[in-house]
Amino acid sequence: MLRPRALALATLSLALFDAAPSGATKEIGSTADAMTLTSPKFEHQGELPARYTCDGIEASPPLQWAGEPAKTQSLVLIVEDPDANDAHEARRAYTHWLVFDIPPSAHVLNETLHESLRARRNLPEGAREGTNDAQRVGYSGPCPPSGRKHNYLFKLFALDVFVDLDAPVKAVLEKELHGHVLARAELIGTYERRKQASDGRAAE
Q: pLDDT (tens digit, 9 = 90+) per residue, 104-140?
A: 999 999 998 766 555 566 889 999 999 999 999 999 9
Burial of residue 32 (CB within 10 Å: 0-12, 13-18, 19+) is exposed
Q: 181 near 17, Cβ under 8 Å?
A: yes
Q: Taking CA 122 as the corner, what is the angle to CA 55 and CA 45, rounded to the nearest 5 degrees?
A: 50
Q: 34 near 183, Cβ under 8 Å?
A: yes
- Residue of higher predicted confidence among 107 and 194: 107
Mean pLDDT of 13-25: 36
- What is the predicted pLDDT for the residue at 89? 52
Q: Is residue 203 part of a domain?
A: no
Q: Is 4 helix (H, G, I), strand (E, B) or coil?
A: helix
Q: Is residue 24 part of a domain?
A: no
Q: How far apart are CA 60 and CA 38, in angstroms?
A: 14
Q: Is residue 127 part of a domain?
A: yes
Q: Is residue 140 part of a domain?
A: yes
Residue 21 has pLDDT above 60, yes or no: no
Mean pLDDT of 152-171: 95
Q: The domain containing residue 153 runs over which residues?
A: 32-187
Q: Is residue 17 part of a domain?
A: no
Q: 152 near 190, Cβ under 8 Å?
A: yes
Q: From start to end of the chain, where are the E strands?
A: 36-38, 46-47, 63-66, 74-81, 94-102, 108-109, 128-129, 150-159, 181-191
Tally of domains within the chain: 1
Q: How far apart are CA 194 and CA 146, in angstroms?
A: 6
Q: Model-level pTM?
A: 0.79
Residue 202 has pLDDT above 70, yes or no: no
Q: How far apart are CA 150 and CA 141, in angstroms?
A: 12
- What is the predicted pLDDT for the residue at 84? 84
Look up the CATH number of the domain holding residue 88: 3.90.280.10
Q: Give the 3-state secondary structure percentages of the chain, helix then strand then coil, rounded to 5.
A: 10, 25, 65
Bridge partners of 183, per DSSP, are 158
Q: Is residue 79 part of a domain?
A: yes
Q: Is residue 144 part of a domain?
A: yes
- Confidence band of 14 (pLDDT split at 50, 70, 90): very low
Q: Is residue 194 part of a domain?
A: no
- Confidence band of 195 (pLDDT split at 50, 70, 90): low
- What is the predicted pLDDT for the residue at 13? 37
Q: Comparing C-alpha atoms, which of 168, 197, 181 is closest to residue 95?
A: 168
